Amino acid sequence: MHTCNMKSVHKEIFDRVGTLKAGAIVFPTDFRGIGTEDAIKTALYRMAKEGQLERLAHGIYYLPKSHPVVGKLLPSLEEVAYAIAERERVRIRPAGAYAANKLGLSTQVPTQLVYITDGQPRQIKIGKGSIRFKPTTPKKFAMTGQISSLLIQALEEMDLEKISSEMKTRIKQLLEKETPENLLEDIKLAPAKVNDFLINIYFKPNRKNEFLSKINSL
């Protein structure tokens, strides 16, 4: 590409970035149509070198944002994950230890945020943390309950036989916040071991058969 064209690509990208809010997450694909991939990447690289952008990871930048007291503010791993999902037009949902943390079942924030996705597998390292997209089946995204769907994702990676009575009580409290319709639908889509676990801790013995008949009738 001629030097004059490179300069015009850089200027147009510079102008577009200037319209964004501080903290915005930026990808090279945001500027497709302006120039070649190499020209776009070169422009973003230069802007990062000059301090107009910050590079978070390969192909991921953000517009610097600062606080008068704490200084530079970086986007959270969660913000980056959802920005990637939006850009790639895929769905993601927290899984494993991260899902447990989101529900308050664990106070430990994992350094790797794991999401199930209907997109491609991907792992992105950002600072001391990382994001992992783990492909899954359409059935996982058929779950509709905000609480029950997350809970099922968390329980899938736990040793259910080692869950304490205190944790079971907390799980039961979470389930009571879910709408019965969503719980009925989601538990039917759960793996057999998770299905049995939830039924055994949540439903009274005299109501278990009634609940199972409702699931089978769906």
Phi then psi for residue 133, to 5 deg, are -100, 120
The rounded percent of the chain whose pLDDT value lies above 90 is 67
* Confidence (pTM): 0.83
Q: What is the domain count for the chain?
A: 2
pLDDT at 123: 95
d(CA 114, CA 78): 10
Residues whose CB falls within 8 Å of the CB of residue 34, separated by 6 or more in sequence, listed in order: 9, 12, 13, 40
**Is residue 40 within 8 Å of residue 34, measured between CB atoms?**
yes
- In this structure, the answer to whether residues 186 and 110 fall within a common structural domain is yes
- In this structure, the answer to whether residues 177 and 147 fall within a common structural domain is yes
Q: Given pLDDT bands bounded at 50, 70 and 90, which one contains residue 208?
A: low
Query: Three-state DSSP class for 134?
Result: strand
- In this structure, the answer to whether residues 62 and 81 fall within a common structural domain is no
pLDDT at 68: 82
Where in the sequence is the domain holding 206, given as residue range(s)? 77-217
pLDDT at 1: 45
User: Dihedral angle at the C-alpha atoms of 143, 146, 149, 151, nearest 10 degrees?
Assistant: -170
Q: 65-74, 112-121, 198-207 — which is least confidently predicted?
A: 198-207
- In this structure, the answer to whether residues 154 and 103 fall within a common structural domain is yes
- In this structure, the answer to whether residues 82 and 64 fall within a common structural domain is no
**Which single residue is written with the structure tokens 């319709």?**
181
- In this structure, the answer to whether residues 125 and 158 fall within a common structural domain is yes
* Among the listed residues 217, 150, 205, 154, the one whose alpha carbon sits nearest the alpha carbon of residue 181: 217
CATH number of the domain bearing residue 64: 1.10.10.10
pLDDT at 67: 80
- In this structure, the answer to whether residues 9 and 97 fall within a common structural domain is no
- In this structure, the answer to whether residues 201 and 125 fall within a common structural domain is yes
d(CA 34, CA 12): 8
